[in-house]
Chains A and B, each alone.
Chain A
Amino acid sequence: MFEVKVVNLEAELIRQCCKGDRKAQFMVYEKYSKAMYNVAIRMTGNTQEAEDILQDAFLTAFMKIKQFRQETGLAIWIRRIVINRCIDLIRKRKVEFSEIDNIPDIPEEEEPKVVDPEVIHKAIKQLPSGARTIITLHLLEGYTHKEIAEMIGVNESTSKTQFHRAKQLLIKKIKVHEHEIRE
Chain B
Amino acid sequence: MNMKSGNEFENKVRAKRQMMDLDEPDDSRIWSGIETRLSFYYQRRRRVLISGLAVAASIVLLISIALFTQINKDSGLLSFSSGEMSEFKKQEKQYKALVNDKKEQIERKDIDQEIIDYYKTDLAILDSLYQYCLKELNENGYNERTVMILLDTYEKRIRIYDRINIENQKLINSKQDESKVLL
Contact = CB atoms under 8 A, between A and B. Distances in A.
Partners in one complex: yes
Contacts of A55: 30, 33-34, 37
A59 B1 contact: no
B30 A25 contact: no
A121 B20 CA distance: 6
B21 interface: yes
A74 interface: no
A143 interface: yes
Interface stretch (A1-9, A34-42, A95-103): A34-42
A69 to B, nearest CB: 18
Interface string A45-57: 0010011001100
Interface string B154-178: 0000000000000000000000000
Interface stretch (A85-93, A111-119, A150-158): A111-119
Contacts of A73: none
A139 B30 contact: no
Given A111-B8, A111-B9, A112-B9, A62 B38 contact: yes
Given A120-B16, A121-B22, A139 B35 contact: no
B33 A140 contact: no
A143 B1 contact: yes
Which of A117, A121, A144 has the largest number of chain B CB atoms within 10 A?
A: A117
Given A20-B42, A51-B26, A121-B22, A115 B2 contact: no
Contacts of A118: 20, 22
Interface residues of B, number: 32
B19 A144 contact: no
Majority DSSP secondary structure for residues of B touching A: helix
Contact of B25 (A25, A34, A62): A34
Interface in B26-83: 26-27, 29-31, 33-35, 37-38, 41-42
Interface residues of A, number: 38
A159 interface: no
7 contacts: A25-B34, A26-B31, A50-B25, A51-B26, A112-B9, A117-B22, A121-B23
Given A34-B24, A120-B13, 18 more contacts: A29-B27, A29-B34, A33-B30, A37-B24, A50-B25, A58-B30, A59-B41, A62-B38, A112-B9, A115-B9, A120-B20, A121-B20, A121-B23, A139-B6, A140-B13, A140-B14, A142-B1, A142-B14
